[in-house]
Structure formats: C-alpha cells, structure tokens
Amino acid sequence: MKDFLDYKEKHIAKSYDNLEDLDVGYNSLENAFTDEKHFNAMKKISPLEKEVLYFYEIKMLDTGEIARITKKKKCEIPKLWKSAIKHFKENLENERR
C-alpha cells in the first residue's frame, strides 16, 4: 500500500498542480500514470477496485459516500481499497519482470 501512496505523492501530485485537474475517471485511473509500467499495472485492476481507488484517492470521498456511489456496504470499501492496492503492487511486480 505504501508503494502506491508514495508513487502517488511523488509522481502524480508533482505532475499536476491540482489532483482535480487530472484527466481521469474511475474507468480510466491508469491515465494518471505517465510511465508504461504503472499505467499497465493500474489498467489490469478490476473496474470496481479502480472505482474505489478513484473516489478515495482522487476525489477524497469517505467510505460512506463511496459505498453509496458503488452500491456496496460501507464495511466493504476498505477491503476493496486494500485489494486494489494489493493487485496494483502485484501487477507492478509482474510488469518489472
């Protein structure tokens, strides 16, 4: 999880003055990444996991708001976020091979 957050802080935030200016949506979160490995790693994450990451990391919504939007239980949102981070890291490792 720390890898994604560190990358977000170092690369995404520095590339844009305001995260709101990113030309991404929950279906295209990979567009936030400028290098191919990170782009491909994010592209392989499930649409639901990308949606949760987008609303949590980019739109900075709380779990209740995300649950309402995704029609999931509030207790499922942190699990989906952790799963998205895990899959991103696994995909990134596979891209590095």
* pLDDT per position as a tens digit, 42-86: 999 999 999 999 899 888 899 999 999 999 999 999 999 999 999
User: How would residue 10 be classed by pLDDT, with cut points 50, 70 and 90?
Assistant: low
Mean residue pLDDT across the chain: 80
Residue 96's pLDDT is 76
| Cα–Cα separations (whole angstroms), residue 87 to 21, 41, 78, 80 | 26, 8, 14, 10
Q: Can you tell me the distance from the alpha carbon of 53 to that of 85, in angstroms, rounded to the nearest whole number?
A: 8
Average pLDDT over residues 7-28: 56
Domain, as residue range, for 59: 2-96
Average pLDDT over residues 10-28: 56
Q: Can you tell me the distance from the alpha carbon of 36 to that of 32, in angstroms, rounded to the nearest whole number?
A: 11
How many independent structural domains does the chain possess?
1
